[in-house]
Amino acid sequence: MSTPASHIVCPHCDSVNRVPSDRLADDANCGKCKSVLFTGQPLDLDGKRFKTHISRSDIPVLVDFWAPWCGPCKMMAPAFQQAARQLEPQVRLARVNTEVAQGLAAQYNIRSIPTLALFQQGREIARQAGAMDQSQLLAWVRQHTG
């Protein structure tokens, strides 16, 4: 009996990889570019990369909509960075600079920043506006991912 596989989008080349679900934590590498699939770092996404990572990944993707001028965004950045190390490979963390990707901010009706949006298989399943510390962020993600 074969192990079910998960589709994981490479954080380096954006190729979609099939990885046995029980091997996600085993330092899997991309079949195309050979880089590690989980870096413990949030990804910076633009419009095209955003669509690929949100729609093609089988693991949840947590997106921080932020801007460089935002004080609370700057305060939350280290907690978000630490959360990436703790949540991968169960959850991919990504960031969208709303100053650069204004179309995405409009499409997802981002009215205040930071805003966290959690996506599962292409659809938004949870949203939280405002900065959180690391423990709040981890608790919120785990509450919505089972």
Could you list the active site residues? 70, 73
> What's domain 39-145's superfamily in CATH?
Glutaredoxin (3.40.30.10)
Give residue-wise pLDDT tens across range 57-100: 999 999 999 999 999 999 999 999 999 999 999 999 999 999 99
Domain segments of the chain as ranges? 39-145
Distances from the Cα of 141 to the Cα of 62, 71, 85, 144, angstroms: 8, 22, 14, 5
Give residue-wise pLDDT tens across range 101-114: 999 999 999 999 99
pTM: 0.95
